[in-house]
Amino acid sequence: MSYKLSVGEDVKYFTCCICDEKCYGWGNNAYPIRDSHGEYFEDHDQCCDECNAQVVVPERLKEIGL
């Protein structure tokens, strides 16, 4: 399912690969977070904005020593 933004772009629903919540939008790359099997998520897997801010970005900063 998708809907149009006022700018005319399609936005789709997706399930966050981290919290498993149903979300809409473009999503975010979850790298470097791993799934429950210890594997990196696939390129097509997306995380929500909240998980991106609370989980992904802090992990990326930790990886570069900040």
Confidence band of 26 (pLDDT split at 50, 70, 90): confident
The arithmetic mean of pLDDT across residues 29-56, rounded, is 94
How many domains is the chain partitioned into structurally? 1
The burial of 31, by beta-carbon neighbours within 10 Å (0-12 exposed, 13-18 middle, 19 or more buried), is given as: middle
More confident residue, 53 or 25: 53
CA 23 to chain centre: 10
Return the percentage of the chain with pLDDT > 70, whole number.
Answer: 83
The arithmetic mean of pLDDT across residues 4-9, rounded, is 53
Domain extent, residue 29, equals 2-63
Residue found under tokens 């897997």:
45
User: How many H-runs (helices) and E-runs (strands) does the chain carry?
Assistant: 2, 3
For residue 41, give the 3-state DSSP assignment.
Answer: coil
The burial of 55, by beta-carbon neighbours within 10 Å (0-12 exposed, 13-18 middle, 19 or more buried), is given as: middle
The model scores a pTM over 0.75: yes
